[in-house]
């Protein structure tokens, strides 16, 4: 089955796919790899953003902006915006260039920043959707602020839930302890862990 691409973006996205695959196959340093999501994960995220009409989207792990293009295209279609951050300034610059080429710079706020710091000072119940695709070691530590930042009926999506299942266990254990969290593993791409934040009892 061929991949669906947002109108006008198929050429750029396929170019970025090829670049990412070639780069990651030839570069030894992990920090210099793009580690992009798969194309079907891009479609999956696009469907989620559009179906939820997610207007406030947070991405943690920008890389070169491949996944950001998918998220931003979908957010733009519903009048939304994406805030995306990465700790690597070089990757932020790559993402800025690719988002400009995609015509999506106007709906994306790019930050070079530690995610833990942004989450800790963020507003409660602010984000409609959070996409988490970064270094997995601090995920469980970030959990309280990730959860606090999600709005009721908001969605957390975490990449690599199948490809790096053992590294995800500390986060999943924290999720299991939250009574308002419903989580499910979607076998898309490298595995997408989806966590829904239910509304408080008696509210809608």
Q: What is the pLDDT of residues 107-132, one digit of tens each?
A: 999 999 999 999 999 999 999 999 99
pTM: 0.96
3-class state of residue 101 by DSSP: helix
The pLDDT confidence band at residue 202, using thresholds 50, 70 and 90, is very low
Instruction: Categorize the per-residue pLDDT at 1 as very low, low, confident or very high, splitting at 50, 70 and 90.
Output: low
d(CA 155, CA 54): 9
Residues shown for the chain = 204
The mean pLDDT value for 33-42 works out to 96
- Confidence check: pLDDT of 99 > 50: yes
For helices 39-52 and 66-77, what crossing angle results, to 10°? 30
Locate 98 and state its tokens: 């690719």
What pLDDT, on a 0 to 100 scale, did the predictor assign at position 203? Answer: 55
Name residue, tokens 């995306």. Answer: 84
Alpha helices in 27-127 (DSSP H): 39-52, 66-77, 89-102, 115-121
With a pLDDT cut of 70, the percent of the chain lying above it is: 98
**Domains, in order of start, for the chain:** 10-158 (3.40.50.150)
Per-residue pLDDT reduced to its tens digit, 44-66 = 999 999 999 999 999 999 999 99
Res. 31 pLDDT band, cuts 50 70 90: confident
Q: What is the mean pLDDT of the chain?
A: 96
- The answer, yes or no, to whether residue 104 has pLDDT greater than 90, is yes
pLDDT greater than 50 at residue 87: yes
Indicate if the pLDDT at residue 84 is higher than 80: yes
- Position 189 pLDDT exceeds 70: yes
């Amino acid at each position: 089955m061929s991949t669906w691409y947002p109108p006008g973006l198929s050429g750029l996205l396929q170019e970025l796919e090829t670049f990412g695959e070639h780069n990651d196959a030839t570069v030894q340093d992990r920090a210099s790899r793009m580690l992009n999501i798969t194309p079907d994960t891009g479609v999956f995220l696009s469907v989620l953003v559009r179906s939820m009409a997610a207007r406030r989207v947070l991405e943690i792990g920008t890389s070169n902006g491949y996944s950001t293009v998918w998220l931003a295209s979908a957010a733009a279609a519903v009048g939304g915006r994406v805030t995306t951050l990465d700790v690597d300034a070089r990757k932020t610059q790559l993402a800025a260039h690719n988002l400009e080429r995609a015509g999506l710079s106007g709906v994306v706020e790019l930050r070079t920043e530690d995610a833990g710091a942004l989450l800790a000072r963020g507003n409660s119940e602010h984000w409609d959707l959070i996409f988490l695709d970064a270094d997995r070691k601090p995920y469980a530590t970030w959990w309280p602020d990730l959860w606090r930042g999600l709005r009721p009926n908001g969605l957390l999506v975490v990449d690599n839930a199948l490809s790096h299942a053992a590294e995800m266990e500390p986060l999943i254990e924290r999720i299991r302890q939250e009574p308002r969290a419903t989580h499910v593993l979607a076998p898309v791409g490298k595995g997408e862990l989806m966590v829904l934040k239910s509304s408080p009892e008696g509210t809608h």
